[in-house]
Amino acid sequence: MSIFSAATVPARLKDNPLAQGSLWLTWSPSFRRLIGRLRQAGALRQRVSITRVPSCKPYDKTYTISYGKLAPELRQEIEQFLPSLKTQPCGKKAVFFRRMLSPTLNSNEIRAVFALLRVAFIQQEGNPAASLYSPVSPEKNDPGFNLHADLYLPTKLWLIFDDVPDDGSGASLFLTRKQLLRSMQSVPGVPKKAHQEVAQLLDLPLAKDSYNKMYDLIYDRRKTWCQRLQAAMSRGMQSVCLFRGEGYLIDDRNWLHGRSPVSQAVTERRFHRLTFDMDRDYSAQ
Ligand SMILES: [Fe+2]
């Protein structure tokens, strides 16, 4: 059962090479029908709460929902869609989404859908760290977010934007891992050790959340090479401005992501973020 079906590129992005060269998807008709059944059963009005998964520290918060209350046949239906989500190719090419919210889902309902998918994943894997629906960190004034890899234990990163301005601010930024590693090799002064450590973080299965470690390796502001590296990364970067109901799915080990400054406060509903697919060895790729 396929959770997604093909969509067209939004007309406003006709001149955006990344958007044009990527796959665009939306909910499949069969998943939309399941959404309807979940709504009818009251599952999309269920309370979504925040819990912690200690093995994911320090970014151990995740939304969760009571899955056991759901009728067994609805649980089974949700689980039938997991393989297609898990195996959706997103390594070399980023995947973009559109029409993921209204009229199909409102903000509260997508929260319930993502929470249900998260619990279905962790039950299947028998590991609470196998999928996280991590809350957004709100910002009153947003300076933007430098390119980074999240480096949660799961490798796939799926975002659907919700509370975003439509003025073109807060664009999503992307840089491939290849471009990052090439820049680290070519920019004068970047220590070989830093390059090797970053390559290792992206290649090898992680024993723990490594976001801070990698961020500190790339943005070592005490070092003179840091600014040069940032400039090289900016030259290789691509950006796409995504509106409400749009989003992306990337392999977090193959793509760095970030955002340009947002013109308004970043709220806890800026986006919905689900991680899944446990870590594996990328070194042979
Ligand atoms: Fe991130």
Q: How far is the CA of 239 from the centre of ligand 1 (A)?
A: 15
Q: What is residue 223's predicted lDDT score, i.e. its pLDDT?
A: 87
* Residue 257: pLDDT band with limits 50, 70, 90: very high
Q: Which residues contact 81 (CB under 8 A, 6 or more apart)?
A: 1, 2, 3, 31, 34
Mean pLDDT calculated for residue range 171-183: 97
Q: How far is the CA of 37 from the centre of ligand 1 (A)?
A: 32
Q: How far is the CA of 193 from the centre of ligand 1 (A)?
A: 24
Rounded to a whole number of angstroms, the distance between the first and last alpha carbons of the chain is: 28
Mean pLDDT calculated for residue range 193-212: 95
Q: What is residue 238's predicted lDDT score, i.e. its pLDDT?
A: 97
Q: How far apart are CA 82 and CA 79, in angstroms?
A: 5
Does an H or E element contain 272, and which?
strand 271-278
- The model carries a pTM of 0.95
Q: How far is the CA of 148 from the centre of ligand 1 (A)?
A: 6
Q: How far is the CA of 187 from the centre of ligand 1 (A)?
A: 24
Q: How far is the CA of 257 from the centre of ligand 1 (A)?
A: 6
Q: How far is the CA of 209 from the centre of ligand 1 (A)?
A: 12
Q: How far is the CA of 74 from the centre of ligand 1 (A)?
A: 32
* Distance, C-alpha 283 to centroid of its chain: 22
Residue 278 has pLDDT above 70, yes or no: yes
Q: How far is the CA of 78 from the centre of ligand 1 (A)?
A: 26
Domain residue ranges in the chain: 4-278
The pLDDT mean for the chain works out to 95
Q: How far apart are CA 204 and CA 206, in angstroms?
A: 6
Residue 220 has pLDDT above 90, yes or no: no
Residue 285 has pLDDT above 60, yes or no: no
Q: How far is the CA of 149 from the centre of ligand 1 (A)?
A: 6
pLDDT digits 0-9 by tens, 39-81: 999 999 999 999 999 999 999 999 999 999 899 999 999 999 9
What is the residue whose two structure tokens read 């004068």? 188
What percentage of the chain has pLDDT greater than the value 70? 98
Q: What is residue 282's predicted lDDT score, i.e. its pLDDT?
A: 64
Residue 283 has pLDDT above 80, yes or no: no
How many alpha carbons fall within 13 Å on the CB side of residue 206? 29
Q: How far is the CA of 36 from the centre of ligand 1 (A)?
A: 31
Residue 197 has pLDDT above 80, yes or no: yes
Mean pLDDT calculated for residue range 192-205: 95
Rg (CA), the chain: 19
Using an 8 Å Cβ cutoff, are 168 and 250 in contact?
no
Q: What is residue 38's predicted lDDT score, i.e. its pLDDT?
A: 98
Query: 90-128 burial, b if ≥16 CB within 10 A, otherwise e?
Result: bbeebbbbbebbeebbeeebbbbbbbbbbbbbbbebeeb
Q: How far is the CA of 30 from the centre of ligand 1 (A)?
A: 30
* Residue 281: pLDDT band with limits 50, 70, 90: low
Mean pLDDT calculated for residue range 218-230: 91
* Residue 92: pLDDT band with limits 50, 70, 90: confident
Length of the chain: 285
Q: Is 226 exposed, middle or buried (0-12, 13-18, 19+ CB in 10 A)?
A: middle
Mean pLDDT calculated for residue range 156-185: 96
What is the residue whose two structure tokens read 């998260």? 118
Range 4-278: architecture per CATH: 4-Layer Sandwich (3.60)
